[in-house]
């Protein structure tokens, strides 16, 4: 049935990544300077005040470690204009290398001091409350939380839907099943045949386990390049005793001509469709689609 992958501790495996830098896993705490020798009760009170102060310092400093333009945490490179306004690399490009605060050029000078501070910092994953126990480098936290964290919320793949959460399966059943583009035919045999519309960007295949959402993707545009068909799964990474489990699928596409196309590949597990690029797909040329603009796709999962 399912094959265990050798890449233990890889993407999304939840495997431990040793943190570097400061041992507190966050911004260095403020030095304690005003310790008196009060009564026991007073000492506890002072301790509380000190904790509050640390929280305030922490949130203030965290603000200054976010890009002024997109408000996302800085990654490894930080740029500044000659007046000291900081921006991330993506924003320098998006703003066409012009500082939005002072209109001076931005993108040529790096803020090495800030980069150095960031390089030594770690912090807990922000999905700690969902169960993630990883402490990640500050500059890698965004990548972890967006792509690798097993506890990050999923993004609904349906166009225009803003849902983000851990109950994607239920959300799609409740909010999108009636609108088409969803089929729950995937049963225990893990084999299914579906009809795919040429204009549909994907068909959601709801597994009867009540958790796994597979998407039969139908991407690409014009007749010259054809449509590119592939499969992904948006669901919790299948793990068994800390090892990833790979799922393979074979896809056979039949259409209006006396031929079929087939592909065998591994199902990628992703948390969101946005930005995903398939590296294995079938190209279905325009001749394949029948007069009503459909093809028949048979999928077998192993
Ligand atoms: Zn930015
Ligand atoms: Zn500026
Ligand atoms: Zn995480
Ligand atoms: Zn949705």
**Domain residues of the chain, as ranges?**
3-148, 154-301
CB 293 within 8 A of CB 199: yes
pLDDT of residue 150: 82
Helix, coil or strand: residue 227: strand
CATH architecture of 154-301: Sandwich (2.60)
Q: Tell how far the Cα of 169 is from the centroid of ligand 4, in angstroms.
A: 10
Alpha helices in 138-208 (DSSP H): 138-143, 168-175
pLDDT tens figures, 5-54:
433 333 333 333 333 333 333 333 333 333 344 444 444 455 445 444 44
- Cβ atoms within 10 A of the Cβ of 201, count? 14
Nearest ligand to residue 78 Cα: 1
Q: Tell how far the Cα of 100 is from the centroid of ligand 2, in angstroms.
A: 7
pLDDT of residue 35: 39
Nearest ligand to residue 106 Cα: 2
pLDDT of residue 95: 94
> Furthest-apart CA pair in the chain: how many Å?
90
Environment of ion ligand 3 (residues, CB < 5 A): 125, 127, 132, 134, 149
pTM: 0.64
pLDDT tens figures, 84-102:
999 999 999 999 999 999 9
pLDDT of residue 221: 67
CB 224 within 8 A of CB 202: no
Report the alpha-carbon distance of residue 211 to residue 170 in Å, rounded: 8
Residues of the chain with pLDDT under 70: 1-64, 185-189, 221-224, 236-245
CB 88 within 8 A of CB 65: no
Report the alpha-carbon distance of residue 246 to residue 8 in Å, rounded: 12
Domain 3-148 sits in CATH 3.40.630.30: no
Q: Tell how far the Cα of 173 is from the centroid of ligand 4, in angstroms.
A: 9
pLDDT tens figures, 106-120:
999 999 999 999 999
């Amino acid at each position: 049935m399912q094959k265990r992958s050798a890449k233990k501790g890889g993407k999304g495996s939840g495997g431990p990544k040793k943190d570097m830098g400061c041992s507190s896993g966050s911004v260095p705490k403020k030095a304690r300077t005003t310790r008196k020798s009060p009564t026991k009760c007073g000492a506890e009170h002072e301790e509380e005040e000190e904790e509050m102060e640390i929280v305030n310092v922490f949130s203030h400093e965290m603000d200054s470690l976010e890009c002024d333009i997109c408000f996302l945490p800085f990654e490894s490179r930080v740029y500044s204009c000659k007046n000291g306004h900081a921006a991330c690399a993506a924003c320098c490009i998006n703003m066409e290398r012009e500082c939005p605060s002072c209109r001076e050029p931005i993108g040529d000078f790096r803020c090495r001091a800030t980069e150095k501070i960031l390089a030594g910092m770690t912090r807990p994953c922000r999905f700690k409350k969902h169960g993630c126990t990883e402490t990640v480098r500050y500059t890698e936290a965004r990548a972890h939380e967006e792509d690798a964290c097993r506890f990050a919320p999923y993004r609904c793949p349906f166009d225009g839907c803003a849902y983000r959460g851990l109950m994607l399966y239920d959300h799609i059943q409740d909010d999108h099943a009636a609108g088409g583009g969803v089929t729950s035919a995937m049963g225990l045999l893990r084999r299914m045949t579906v009809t795919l519309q040429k204009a549909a960007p994907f068909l959601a295949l709801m597994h009867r386990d009540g958790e796994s959402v597979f998407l039969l993707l139908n991407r690409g545009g014009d007749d010259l390049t054809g449509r590119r068909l592939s499969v992904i799964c948006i669901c919790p990474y299948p793990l068994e005793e800390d090892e990833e489990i790979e799922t393979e699928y074979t896809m056979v596409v039949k259409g209006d001509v006396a031929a079929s196309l087939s592909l065998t590949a591994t199902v990628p597990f992703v948390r969101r469709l946005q930005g995903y690029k398939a590296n294995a797909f079938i190209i279905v040329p325009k001749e394949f689609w029948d007069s009503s603009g459909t093809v028949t796709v048979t999928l077998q999962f192993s």
